[in-house]
Amino acid sequence: MTSERDIPLDRRDEAWGRLVLAAQKCEKCPLAPGRKNVVFGDGDRSTRLLFIGEAPGAEEDEQGIPFVGKAGQLLTRILEAAGIDRKGIYITNVVKCRPPGNRVPSIEEMHACEDILKGQVALINPSIIVCLGATPTKWILKTGPGESISKIRGKWFDWKGIRVMPMFHPSFLLRNQSKKKGSPRELTWIDIQEVRDRWLECR
């Protein structure tokens, strides 16, 4: 089977450009009229490590860049502490437009963005995907009601030949400041080190 990485760079760039344009013009769901910017993604498209969050917040909608608000700043610090350069990975969300009040995106909204996300995954062709929080975890892994993020975070799953690890969303860590043993912050530190080690094996 031909890998996306075997496709000539100019053709991949052309396909990526079409994907960006499709996202910018998209009006498939009710989020489109209220957006300031389509938040497509950010980072290195040649990476083997892809992070997927839920949806843009207010700061992301304003700047058009994912994970730049308080949760994003915490994510950047976590990456840096683990020795992962944010510029060397790619970060996106399940949906590319901000839901009102930062609510969880609806099934309709996620379906509307599904082809864009699938296109991003196909063209980046990562070895590892990190799902930040319950929404991308459910969307990628199709987890059921009994498989909460607290139960499956830190575990590796196989999705279409890609290693997938669910982790807590950084916004959850902002609401849980404790660093005690077994706390979300301590578990996230364990998880990100595991991700880093697997990523280094792929490089």
Q: Where do the structural domains in the chain lie, given as residue ranges? A: 8-202
3-state secondary structure of 126: coil
Q: What is the CA radius of gyration of the chain?
A: 16
pLDDT at residue 9 is higher than 90? no
The whole-number pLDDT of residue 104 equals 96
First to last CA, the chain: 21
Instruction: Answer yes or no: are the C-beta atoms of 52 and 90 closer than 8 Å.
Output: no
- Write out the two tokens for 79: 């990456």
For domain 8-202, give the fold: Uracil-DNA Glycosylase, subunit E (3.40.470)
Q: What pLDDT digit, counting tens, does each position of 17-32 carry? A: 999 999 999 999 999 9
Strands 90-93 and 128-132, how do they pair?
Answer: unpaired
Query: Whole-model pTM?
Result: 0.94
Instruction: Answer yes or no: are the C-beta atoms of 47 and 90 closer than 8 Å.
Output: yes
Average pLDDT over residues 171-180: 95
pLDDT at residue 94 is higher than 80? yes
